Chains A and B, each alone.
Chain A
Amino acid sequence: MMRKKILFALFLIFPFIFTACDSKSPEHNNRVIIGISADVNIFNPLFTISVDEGAITELLYLSLFDYRWNEVKGGIEAGPMLAKRWEWAVDSSSLKIFLRDDVYWTDGTPLTADDIVFTFDVYSDPIVQSRLYGTFEDLFVDEDNHIDVSKTFSVNSSFEFEVNFPANSVPNLDVISPSIIPAHIFRDLKRDELSYSEQNFKPVSSGSYYLKKWDKNQTITLAANKSSFLYDEDQIDEIIFKVDPDYTSKIIQLKKGKIDLLELVKVEDIEELKSNSELKIVPVIGREYDYLGLNNIDADAYSNGEVVPNKYFGSGNVREAITYAINREEILNERLLGYGEIAATPVSSIFKSVFNDNVKPYQQNITKAKNLLASEGWDDVDQDGILEKENEEFSFTLYYPSGNPLREFASMRVQNNLKAVGIDIKLEVVELGTLIEFLFERKINAWMLGWYIPIPVELKPYWYSDLESTPLNFANYRNVKVDSLLDLLQTNIPAEKRTEIIKTFQKMIHDDEPVSFLYWVPNICVYNKRIAKINITPLGTVSHCWEWRLQ
């Protein structure tokens, strides 16, 4: 009996022992802990997929240029990184790059022009299937889109080389901006097995931090690379990415100071986090928008090879009416609590120089929506609350992806709002992969989805009429005038002209309303104020973390 009582007493104090052992963590304060939702699967810039993978890998592998966000201009600017300076030829047909000579891979090998040439060879190799395959049209490529290394690069010395651009291309720095990989490590590996080689998990890197420890599904520990040219003594010793799929858990750790930085914080939590004096909240708007997708062409006819306007959404007036009927303010205020922005076009307001602020989003206006629909022949003849045209009811299925509460919310609100103008929506939730397949096959009428927008602005893949070459034009938007603008953007034109074209494009898109643009989703970053000199921009949070300091 006595024994049992002791056991029972032990059982009771159990938690307190543990709490005690938790509080005595060693003096290890020169580190920053960043909460992420999912473990990374790879440390190789050739194959990264998730945002976190990309961010971490870019820290490990430097690229030729250092991109920074220019708040005033609303765009990115290239600065020196591996390339300490560069010179354009007078006719812009070639670019001479001078590399730093003090960059070493973590195994001690120097980084040379050889690595650069090798990197672009691998990126564009069809066998490798890197994430950037097919994006090097501005360089000399063969019919497989493989870069012709001998034509493109002329290496003068280990630290000096030239990039040559073909005659009809748009010479730019961006095309050679991806992270550089070590040739001496990857050269001997078989190219078709690169994507699952061991080297993807034990990176030999060049950045200001190196991978110190990877505890799968728990933590990714990056430590300062003391031999890096970026290193200085005040740099934070360790950047730790802590994997925790549970959102609530991360928020609690953020409040307790066990996580120093967290992205994608939900707006509902902001009020409470604001009261915590140690935390700073930075909303980043303008990287992602959600929209109500409307198929502009008839799905059945398309599967038979014809392009016919959609019976519901074929007319711009109907699409405009739908946008007029949706109470986007309510979604913004009640769900996003005022963070975020109403979207009028696919061009984000962060691109200050090209953003057209004369284009104002449609304000909710039920009467106007009803009138527009009536002008297109939609009328509630049988008084059952749903519009008809030629004996067909305005009733369609809206597909939305599972696992995204915001889009689910928007879908339900859209369904509710459109009832007011007599449009009946059936909702159906499908898994994201399935939904995207539907969209590639162009076989559904309406869907709820979002786009994460690239920097700098990229429009042609999403809005160009040729449906064969632009699988991402899910809405099947077709407008010859818009096409000619988009074609112009692909040519070598001066910056002012570019700006003007993009502004006109926004006006035209707004008039046509190919889909109902809903809102720009805010990415709310919260960090502990002990991190100083942190600059959160649309480019990401950790991109220059070697410049952070601890207070």
Chain B
Amino acid sequence: MCNSNSNEQTALTAPDKKIVRALQEDFPLCEEPYKILAERAGIDEEKFLERVKDFLREKKIRKMGAVLQHRTAGFKSNALCVWNVPPEKLLEVAEIMSAHSAVSHCYDRNPAPNWNYNLYTMIHAKSREECDAIIAELSKLTGITNFQALYSKKEWKKTAMKYFDDEPSTNDE
């Protein structure tokens, strides 16, 4: 839906890559944050603001804004719930699940051998019991009864991607 695009659209020029690199660093909490970002990119502020607006229009940037800690809103439990949905019902089921406020992410994914799940939802709630109740509700709403709730045991990594990072990965020999 929102990610069909051709490669022509995605080619970024060297100055655009500089803008992306500047934008992915900490957003300055001061009166003129874009001026500082523009300086980092070595571009005039006016031009920089125009390009940011272009990127928003072209959906290279999904949003300029903030994401809350889930805990802030009282969400202490999260489950990745995977569903086995008949392909012809996928869109309809995805729409019902996406409409639920406890669902933060909803993706389709290709099934794998011995893993027939094709719809993935992230569910947030105040407790595991509440998560389970929401999953039961989603199951009832959609009629999908073949699913698994995968609760997280440990967060090993959660970071923002560094795009066009010239530093080679540490795993590169």
Asked if chains A and B come from one complex, the reply is: no
**B interface residues, Cβ below 8 angstroms from A:** none
A-to-B contact residues, CB < 8 Å: none
